[in-house]
Amino acid sequence: EKYVVAVVGATGAVGNEMIAVLEERDFPVERLRLFASERSEGVRLNFKGQEITVETLKEDSFQGIDIALFSAGAERSKIWAPIAAKSGCVVIDNSSQWRMDPEVPLVVPEVNPHDLKWHKGIIANPNCSTIQMVVALKPIHDVAKIKRVVVTTFQAVSGTGKKAMDELLQQTVALLNFKDIEIKVYPHQIAFNVLPHIDKFLENGYTKEEMKMVNETKKIMGDPSIRVTATTVRVPVFRGHSESVNIETEKKITAQEVRELLSKAPGVVVIDNPDKNEYPLPIYASGRDEVFVGRIREDESIENGINMWIVSDNLRKGAALNAVQIAEELIKML
């Protein structure tokens, strides 16, 4: 069987990747429809050697569409996802709009595929930094029960979108040519800098990105008792989020046991040979599907603790790939 699939936000950083992932994985697409803003009306994008014209959204756009992958921002998802779902289409939404809604499953197929069963037309794709972390945490949680997670992230500019990738490039070129830079996307220069600030600040002093990691982790893992605290940081990297993750477990688990466990875990690749200077790096994770884990070692400051370094392509597993994997699980259930 084949399906009519739509990508909403097709011209964006994630949307582009969604089209590529659908093609690469040979998702059974009968027809692909592409949507973006008026700015992109008439733009043609390639899918399997065919040119597809980008359309703008209208009330009846979703009629006849089976599955819609949304990545056009939370505001657009708020308006259009319910309209799409009403038309009988299943929405897989990459924005933050519906993630914490109790009526909406928040799914990482390696972690909680069972939650797909209770969807009511909208399924949420988690935040990129959360996805790569829970893929690595779940196998450990199942064996040793995670009590607490302390995470610091090093996030690529592609997480912000295309404009931020352009800004990093332009600032870098300008600075290397002793020219003035333009600062538009972030509150400060991003080239040759590190910003301890992703998304808006909230009243508790954390950023929205940090609280997404806290709240989404509990929902995906299905365990509100896991305590999570996060510091999220933007770094001048184009693609691939890196994370320093410290966990405390109820049961003792050794670094070697974690290495063995994660070596067998779906979607995970362990790269952990410090004697050869081998550990996960965003430049190698870029364009890849897996979550890479290394620097696995015991936290010597507590009884049952593990430190590790987790890297994955934020546009792939962090967004487009996870969304397409959800679609693959869905059609298996039909």
Q: Which residues are catalytic?
A: 128, 241
Q: Which of 129, 135, 143, 97 is nearest to 113 (CA)?
A: 135
Enter the tokens of residue 281. Answer: 């790096």
243 is a contact residue toward ligand 11C (CB under 6 A): no
DSSP for residue 126: P
- Looking at beta carbons, which residue is closest to ligand A2P? 12
Distance between CA atoms of residues 109 and 115, nearest Å? 9
Residue 70's φ and ψ, nearest 5 degrees, are -105, 130
Instruction: Give me the residues paired with residue 34 across strands.
Output: 7, 54
Name the minimum Å distance from CB 210 to ligand 11C: 10
Judged by beta carbon distances under 5 to 8 A according to partner kind, the member of ligand 11C, ligand A2P, none in contact with residue 132 is none
Closest C-alpha to 306, from 253, 233, 262:
253
Q: Does residue number 96 form part of the binding site for ligand 11C (CB under 6 A)?
A: yes
Question: Counting contacts by CB under 6 A, is residue 240 touching ligand 11C?
Answer: no
Nearer Cβ to ligand 11C (212/317): 212
Q: Which residue stretch of 16-24, 40-48, 125-133, 322-330 sits at the interface with ligand 11C (rule: CB under 6 A)?
A: 125-133
Q: Which is nearer to ligand 11C, 152 or 254 (CB)?
A: 152
What's the min distance (Å) between Cβ of 158 and ligand A2P? 8
Complex with ligand 11C: residue 240 or 294, whichever CB lies closer: 240
Is there binding between residue 128 and ligand 11C (CB under 6 A)? yes
Q: Shortest gap between Cβ of 299 and ligand 11C (angstroms)?
A: 26
Please answer whether residues 308 and 296 qualify as being in contact, where contact means their C-beta atoms are separated by less than 8 angstroms: yes
H helices within the chain, ranges in order?
Answer: 13-24, 74-86, 128-144, 162-176, 208-221, 255-264, 282-285, 321-333
Q: How far is the CB of 185 from ligand 11C (least distance, A)?
A: 11
> Can you read off the two tokens belonging to residue 77?
């998802």
Interface mask (CB under 6 A) for ligand 11C, residues 169-208, using x and -? -----------------------------x----------
Residue 76 binding: pick among ligand A2P, ligand 11C, none (C-beta 5-8 Å cut-off by kind): ligand A2P
Under the criterion CB under 6 A, does residue 127 sit at the interface with ligand 11C? yes
Q: Residue 155: which of ligand A2P, ligand 11C, none does it interact with, CB under 5 to 8 A by kind?
A: ligand 11C
DSSP class of 125:
P
Residue ranges binding ligand A2P (CB under 6 A) = 8-13, 15, 35-37, 39-40, 57, 72-73, 76, 161-163
CB-CB contact of 68 with 122 (8 Å): no
Stretch binding ligand 11C (CB under 6 A), from 38-46, 126-134, 171-179, 259-267 = 126-134
Rounded Cα gap, residues 137 and 51, in angstroms: 41
Q: Is 131 helix (H, G, I), strand (E, B) or coil?
A: helix
Residues with Cβ within 8 Å of residue 26, at least 6 apart in sequence = none
Nearest to 322 by CA among 92, 119, 85: 92
Binding-site partner at residue 15 among ligand A2P, ligand 11C, none, CB < 5 to 8 Å by type: ligand A2P
- 207 half-sphere exposure, CB direction, 13 A CA radius: 15
The two three-digit tokens of residue 106, written as one number: 């928040």
Tokens, residue 271: 């790269």
Rule CB under 6 A: say whether 77 interacts with ligand 11C: no
127: partner contacted, choices ligand 11C, ligand A2P, none (Cβ within 5-8 A by kind) = ligand 11C
| Interface with ligand 11C, residue 209, by CB under 6 A | yes
Q: Which residues sit at the interface with ligand 11C, rule CB under 6 A? A: 95-96, 127-129, 155, 159-160, 198, 209, 212, 314
